[in-house]
Amino acid sequence: MKVGDLVTLSQYGQNLGTIPHQYRRVWHPDAPPLYGIITAIQDNLWAHLSENEQKKFIIKWNVDDLTGRTWHGRYFYRNDLKFFR
């Protein structure tokens, strides 16, 4: 993935505790599509992280109330995302 790619949440990403229920396609299959554009990719400088956690993806979503992977961080890891079709 690179800056400018159109993405959505993967099944794993939808199950994060910070994702509101209206964006979890499992619970609301009729919800409008959630998508976003990767605006930045940051290196995670901790040495002991898995390959998945070495990059933080900053996303500009089509909704305003999607916070991020954690309550205080507005980023996602690679396994939280998939390409939007």
Q: What is the mean pLDDT of the chain?
A: 84
Q: Indicate yes or no: pTM above 0.75.
A: yes
Phi-psi region of 52 (alpha: psi -120 to 50; beta: other; left: phi over 0): alpha
How many Cα atoms occupy the beta-carbon half-sphere of 30 within 13 Å?
A: 0
Amino acid 53: pLDDT:
85
CA distances in angstroms from 12 to 1, 15, 17, listed in the order given: 17, 5, 11
Question: How many other C-beta atoms are found inside a 10 Å radius of the C-beta of residue 33?
Answer: 10
79 confidence band (pLDDT: 50, 70, 90)? very high
Q: Where are the alpha helices (DSSP H) in 1-85?
A: 11-14
Q: Which amino acid is at 17?
A: G
